[in-house]
Amino acid sequence: MKIKFIPEDFVVEERVNLPIQGRGEFSLYLVHKQNLTTDNAMKQLSRWMKRPLRDLSHAGMKDRHGLTTQYITVHGDGPQHIETEHFRARRIGYADEPVSSHHLSGNHFRIVLRDLSEEDIERIERNRPSLERYGIPNYYDDQRFRSQPSAKNAFAFHLMRSDYENGFRVYLMECLNNSNGTVEALIQNWGAWTDVKIDNSDLPNFRKALSYLRHNPNDYQGAIYKLDRVDLRMMIAAGYSYLWNELLARRIRQMVTTDSVSVKGAWQDYAFFRALDRDSQQYFNDLSFAIPPNSGFDQDPDFDTLVHSLFKEYRLNRENIDSPLVSRLFPGSIERQALMKPENLSIQNPSDDDLHPGRFKLELSFTLKPRSYATMVIKRLTL
């Protein structure tokens, strides 16, 4: 099976609740993009409009792969149309406030699965009823964890432990994409920051941090704060998301002993279920938590034990997980429902795949609530 084989195979339309006005303090744009992350689209819009990035706001992050439509506001007035190689934006009106995640009501997906066999199609048809009946674990999917190879040495966990020197070292070794030898030179000359030279084209987001260390050689917390904020927030979010996923997966394996199935992911194995008994279904329907979980789990000792066990495994606790630097860079995990259910799920009849002769393609569409991953729906349908 292939997903996102061509951009037209993965279409996302953002849904927001934001009144559109004839006039207002903020220009509201509908942005269509392809092969571009939301962050990069914002940066390109900022440069194109010659406006500071802080004047622009968005509701949700969208993947670079596929065709995505989302809303962006710009403080003040702006042009009617903007078009570049990877996106086009059309001003559809004005708003009295900047768009934000609070306005996001969901995302509608239209997805084409390709290179399917008859067995794949039968599996999807067989899995659909249980998916619609019981729901799906609401995991953060692999795209959340692209910043590092694994959770074993996660940058975020070093920051949560206030181990800033090792966090900085991990950032250099695992998070930077560098082929000019600068990273190797920095590791070999650790602490001798003035001995390493980088040119203007090498690691542009790292030069400020290196300059800071040359004047403050042991202040790794301050150096980390000089790194690219978007990168830092993504890497911290990956740590929070891993802990959330792992707690849910362990709880599912603990409660669902006969109908659970594991699917290998980037940082962990996702635990799914084919069916739930009545008590388990009620439990997971009611379960929601953040990282760190609040104190409301005193009546759920099994879950609380899992929390303590997982945190101990990574040398974390409820207090240090929000270390000073983490708190400055990242607002923290929000309460998240354990299960999700796609709304208005539609699966079209299979047809011949024009890009894979002798195989089939299948189009499906559905709507998800904010921050849920369509790729998790695909994983569950194709178990």
Q: Give the pairing type, strands 56-58 and 260-264.
A: unpaired
Residues 6 or more apart in contact with residue 345 via CB below 8 angstroms: 128, 131, 132, 364, 365, 366
Task: Spell out the alpha helix ranges (H) of the chain.
Answer: 38-49, 118-134, 155-160, 164-170, 182-188, 207-215, 220-225, 229-255, 278-286, 301-313, 324-329, 374-381
CA 151, CA 172: separation in Å to the nearest integer?
A: 16
Q: Please, what is the Cα angle at 65 between 172 and 144, to 5 degrees?
A: 45
User: String of b and e for 249-285 (b: at least 16 CB within 10 Å)?
Assistant: bbbbeebbeeebeeeebbbbebbbbbebeeebbebbe
- Class of the 19-98 domain? alpha beta
CA 143, CA 12: separation in Å to the nearest integer?
A: 15
Q: What is the pLDDT of residue 188?
A: 84
List the chain domain ranges.
19-98, 126-145+233-342+371-381, 155-231
Asked if residues 84 and 121 have their Cβ atoms less than 8 Å apart, the reply is no
Q: What is the pLDDT of residue 28?
A: 96
3-state helix, strand, coil in the chain (%, to 5): 40, 25, 35
Residue type, 111: I
Is residue 113 exposed (0-12), middle (13-18) or buried (19+ Cβ within 10 Å)?
buried
Residue 176 per-residue DSSP state: -
Q: Please, what is the Cα angle at 332 between 331 and 336, to 5 degrees?
A: 125
Q: What is the pLDDT of residue 358?
A: 96
Q: What is the pLDDT of residue 202?
A: 56
Q: What is the pLDDT of residue 201?
A: 55
Tokens standing for 63? 């993947």
Residues 6 or more apart in contact with residue 182 via CB below 8 angstroms: 196, 198, 202, 203
Give the SS3 label for residue 136. Answer: strand
pTM confidence score: 0.90
CA 163, CA 211: separation in Å to the nearest integer?
A: 21
> pLDDT tens string for the chain (383 positions)?
999 999 999 999 999 999 999 999 999 999 999 988 888 899 889 999 999 999 999 998 888 888 999 999 999 999 999 998 889 999 999 999 999 999 999 999 999 999 999 999 999 999 999 999 999 999 999 988 987 888 888 999 999 998 999 999 988 887 776 656 777 788 888 988 888 776 655 566 688 888 899 999 999 999 999 988 888 888 898 999 999 999 999 999 999 988 889 999 999 999 999 999 999 999 999 999 988 776 556 678 899 899 999 999 999 987 778 777 788 888 777 789 999 999 999 999 999 999 999 999 999 999 999 999 999 999 999 99
Question: DSSP string spanning 75-98?
Answer: EB---SEEE-SSEEEEEEEEESS-
User: String of b and e for 33-50 (b: at least 16 CB within 10 Å)?
Assistant: beebbbbebbebbbeebe
